[in-house]
Structure 1
Amino acid sequence: MTAASNEPVLLRRDEGRVAILTLNRPKAMNALSGELIDALQAEFDRLAKDREIRCVVIEAQGRAFSTGHDLREVASSRDHAFHHDLLTRCSAMMMAIRALPQPVIAKVQAIATAAGCQLVAACDLAVASSDATFATSGINNGLFCGTPSVAVGRNVGSKRALDMLFTGQFIDAATALRDGLVSRVVPPAELDRETMTFAQHIAAQPPQQIAEGKAMFHKHMEMDLAQAYAIATEFMAGAIMTEDAQAGIDAFVNKKPKPEWKGR
């Protein structure tokens, strides 16, 4: 489907407890315009307060997942304040993904470059078609991908990230999986089904444990080993005492049916 000029740049539909956000600028290769960045931020703000949605999928219409910032928009101004504001809003939107209580899955059907690759890296998980390709290709246009380097570097490590950043060369889905940029790679025909199965499985898990576990994980990944174990130990000691954990452990020990999770 091709988006007309009067169509929204971002679509949302909910399937049970899974929210699907669809980048809807296919003619522009789903470039992250200021309008699309703001639309994503607005949805993340809504999802942060949504107690019914337990997993989020970000997908895209057309031939690209996203080719990054809209270079026509970038070229429209030489005002530093304009570009600083645009990049600040984009960085805030990326950080909002981490702050969400729900896990966020990027569903990558095709090319993801520059800030589009950053969006994949910013998500908690990513399922890619075997046809998908990835690059931090700004250097090919004379611009080092500074903000994409933050998320990509935290996914793949410094040497692999700098290889991508210095060369602008593409990697295929198998390489992205090997390097940790994506979680799973599936054949193109199975991308929709596999991503939704993955999302629905996560959505069926105890939501308080998922939300608090996500926050704890991302926090300890920025710490040294001793600090990480200290915060994880504190988390688990408290988690064991929650109603969901007590019910789940009791069901396992006493061979009872899986309980209904109470939610957050």
Structure 2
Amino acid sequence: MAEFILSEKRGAVGIITLNRPQVLNAWNTAMREELTATLATMEEDSEVRAIILTGAGDRAFGAGQDLNETKTFDPDRAEQWMGEWERLYDRIRSLSKPIIAALNGVAAGSAFQVSLLCDLRIGHPGVTMGQPEINSGIASTTGPWIMREHIGLARTIDLTLTGRMMDADECYRIGVINRLVPQDKVMSEALALAEFLAGKPPVAMRLDRQRFREMTEAGFRDCLAAGVRIQREAYASGEPARMMEEFLARKAAAKKG
């Protein structure tokens, strides 16, 4: 039984919830693996014609990687980590069914990337999105690839190197959020859109998503190969572990203060 992923069906729509709200739905290996398996189950379910991905609670879709996991990595574990992301990202990209991100709060780092791998994104005025990985000593490889596909190289460089977060207005203005609604309407809007997409011809839907995957496959494979090389070098330097410890210490001090 999944511990960190919740799933349900509402008619032709499958709903998947990232369920680590106590850490803002931050990723660990188990949650990645459970999400990959749940997506596979919904892909195989002929009754499911569209999927919604969201996060538990009202503070975050996802805060990105759980640093308490990655702070202990060595180069070999960092390479395995890239393989975990490859399996999850490939599973999302190879779905024959449309997938919508219902955003509730922050979508940072790899959670931002996962939301961009979804076909459409519904958000509210309190949503923030971005790629703050550099602030905790993580070099970005998959992030720049998927961001460039959506927002171009100039904005990708800005977000990657500054680590800043975009507010909902900016996200909507540049097309990262497709629908901006009040917070209490995010799920109902996502459901309405999912039901609409579920009514589309399934073969055409599958072939359209297949073509999107084909168009971006070379870049995806390049970023994964680069990711192994870059993460091995980064973790061999010791910088990520030092920066993550400092980042976590600042967070702990801020909580006490």
TM-score using structure 1 length? 0.78
Q: Distance in 2 between matches of 1:132 and 1:81?
A: 35
Greater shift after overlay, 82-91 or 189-198? 82-91
Compare the two structures and name the one with the higher helix fraction: 2
- Matched residue, 1:55: 50
1:127 alignment partner, SS class? strand
Letter in 1 for 2:136: N
2:60 equivalent to 1:64: yes
Structure 2 unpaired stretches of 5+: 219-257
1:216 alignment partner, SS class? helix
Greater shift after overlay, 139-148 or 99-108? 139-148
1:176 alignment partner, SS class? helix
Letter in 2 for 1:198: L
Q: Cα distance, 1:204 vs. partner? A: 1.2
Q: Cα distance, 1:220 vs. partner? A: 3.8
- Matched residue, 1:197: 192
Give structure 1 regions of 4+ aligned residues with deviation exceeding 4 angstroms.
none
* Contact 2:148/2:156 (<8 A) preserved: yes
2:148 equivalent to 1:129: no
CA-to-aligned-CA distance 1:170-212 (integer Å, 9 cap, x gap): 1011211222322221111211211110111111111111111
- Matched residue, 2:160: 165
- Matched residue, 2:202: 207
1:180 alignment partner, SS class? coil
1:157 alignment partner, SS class? helix
1:84 alignment partner, SS class? helix
- Matched residue, 2:80: 85
Letter in 2 for 1:35: A
Q: Cα distance, 1:101 vs. partner? A: 0.3
* Contact 1:98/1:124 (<8 A) preserved: no
Q: Distance in 1 between matches of 2:135 and 2:74?
A: 22
Letter in 2 for 1:29: L
- Matched residue, 1:248: none
1:32 alignment partner, SS class? coil
Q: 1:74 aligns with which of 70, 90, 113?
A: 70
Q: Distance in 1 between matches of 2:82 and 2:182?
A: 34
CA-to-aligned-CA distance 1:100-138 (integer Å, 9 cap, x gap): 000111110100111111111111111111210011001
2:10 equivalent to 1:15: yes
* Contact 1:113/1:134 (<8 A) preserved: yes
2:104 equivalent to 1:109: yes
Q: Distance in 2 between matches of 1:36 and 1:222?
A: 25
Q: Distance in 1 between matches of 2:123 and 2:150?
A: 15
Q: Distance in 1 between matches of 2:86 and 2:156?
A: 18
* Contact 2:94/2:213 (<8 A) preserved: no
Q: Distance in 1 between matches of 2:216 and 2:142?
A: 19
Q: 1:44 aligns with which of 39, 58, 72?
A: 39
Higher relative contact order (CA 8 A, sep 6+): 2
* Contact 2:2/2:34 (<8 A) preserved: no
Letter in 1 for 2:181: V
Letter in 1 for 2:26: A
Q: Distance in 1 between matches of 2:56 and 2:42?
A: 21
2:180 equivalent to 1:188: no
* Contact 1:130/1:174 (<8 A) preserved: yes
- Matched residue, 1:257: none
Which of the pair has more CA radius of gyration?
1
Q: Distance in 1 between matches of 2:178 and 2:30?
A: 29
Q: Cα distance, 1:7 vs. partner? A: 7.7
